[in-house]
Structure 1
């Protein structure tokens, strides 16, 4: 189930609801209707063996730092990217062209953490698309914002879990109604087929006596149609013993509407959600629209003052109870 880690995230954080409300750093509407954008340096991504774990992240950072040292000797600098976070997922894109380099819905992000030592590395582990169990670790460098980015993703998970709880009940009711509608359509198809066949029998003269026809087919009225879906609509026999033809005149098969109930699990597709539109999309793009190391706070939302970091876990792990 694609929302399984949202459920685990909620179960792992129930104590916050009982003892205190976790104070986040952004207004909920910001992540629900738009997204938070951070301008950070992208150290790179590398394949990892496990979907979670601080040691897995540290090993990924070591590999990418080594690769960066090789590139630095060749005169290459760490590129800057725009990291956007919303209730639907995380996207990495080029700041100017907006070309999306990587994009993951939240349910494919299994782990994220910031470096508590240097406080400048932020990383997350995500599952690649497809049936394989390949995971990649993405590492970013930011002098002041690594911790804040981790909290922002944690808030996005929290809001996504609440949305899941709010919509799951409605989805079940919609599914129930769809099943009832599907059954009604099938029943109407059965009735339509039976009545059409009786008209054809009358027109061809196969039914001479209506009362005899009703007694023979065990019905009280010529317009009565059995409610069972297993009614033998193609093999009913007129009183004169002549076998009636099927609805298409060539065989006895009856075609019913094939109404498949669409998936209500919001995203059985592994495709990543689109990046939400910016609040300032109508304005010309400038560097001040992004959060850079020169800024201490996000472009939207208010940074929480007096946050007790000791109350938070050492690293954020959406799949902690796996």
Structure 2
């Protein structure tokens, strides 16, 4: 994201994300971790910690070698906010991540089968990794059974910032659509 004279410029045009087609990135799906609490009850730092702890847990489970963390870096809260084990169904699957104002969709690259589709209103948080996990992103979403999980994706080298910025842009556009719809409803009610 580039900021020029207080005006935010995104990587993609708004139209690309609004069109229903979305913007695609080729990533690898690594797995997920069940989130045991509502993200709404957590502050920003705790939400970030849930996402980054989930990235570390999934990476370790699939055999990615990470540096040992200092005890001061480990969140004691993070352990109780997420399951202790990762779900590795579809692990190491190359996928196309399609980002739009409607949803985040993960399609297998080889046959286009959808392995995950999360509507925007069911997504509560997204974050990039840190230091030795900088090429990973995670997002927390509810599934059709209302269970929350943090999904972890591996991006091409130095692409995670573009992916997370595009997700942020889609969130902002979705929010702006919501606000505009609410204004129209209120305006219509005032006219009656």
The answer, yes or no, to whether TM exceeds 0.5 is yes
Q: Runs of 5+ in structure 2 lacking a partner?
A: 40-46, 65-89
Question: For the residues of structure 1 that align with 2:137 and 2:189, how far apart are their CA atoms?
Answer: 41
Corresponding residue number in structure 2 for 1:117: 131
Corresponding residue number in structure 2 for 1:69: 63
Corresponding residue number in structure 1 for 2:49: 55
Contact 1:51 1:111 in 2 (8 A): no
Question: For the residues of structure 2 that align with 1:171 and 1:106, how far apart are their CA atoms?
Answer: 21
Q: Which residue of 178, 184, 189 corresponds with 1:164?
A: 178
Offset, 1:89: 1.2
Larger-gyration structure (1/2): 1
RMSD of aligned residue pairs (Cα, Å): 2.6
Counterpart check, 1:20 vs 2:14: no
Q: Runs of 5+ in structure 1 lacking a partner?
A: 1-15, 71-75, 181-322
Question: For the residues of structure 2 that align with 1:115 and 1:66, how far apart are their CA atoms?
Answer: 14
Normalised to the residue count of structure 1, the TM-score between the two structures is 0.43
Q: How does 1:75-86 map to 2 (within 5 A)?
A: 78-86=92-100
Question: For the residues of structure 1 that align with 2:91 and 2:54, how far apart are their CA atoms?
Answer: 19
Alignment deviations for residues 269-319 of structure 1 (CA, whole Å, 9 cap, x no partner): xxxxxxxxxxxxxxxxxxxxxxxxxxxxxxxxxxxxxxxxxxxxxxxxxxx
Alignment deviations for residues 73-123 of structure 1 (CA, whole Å, 9 cap, x no partner): xxx982211110001110111123221111111111111111231320111
Corresponding residue number in structure 2 for 1:216: none
Counterpart check, 1:140 vs 2:125: no
**Number of aligned positions between the proteins:** 154
SS at match of 1:144: coil
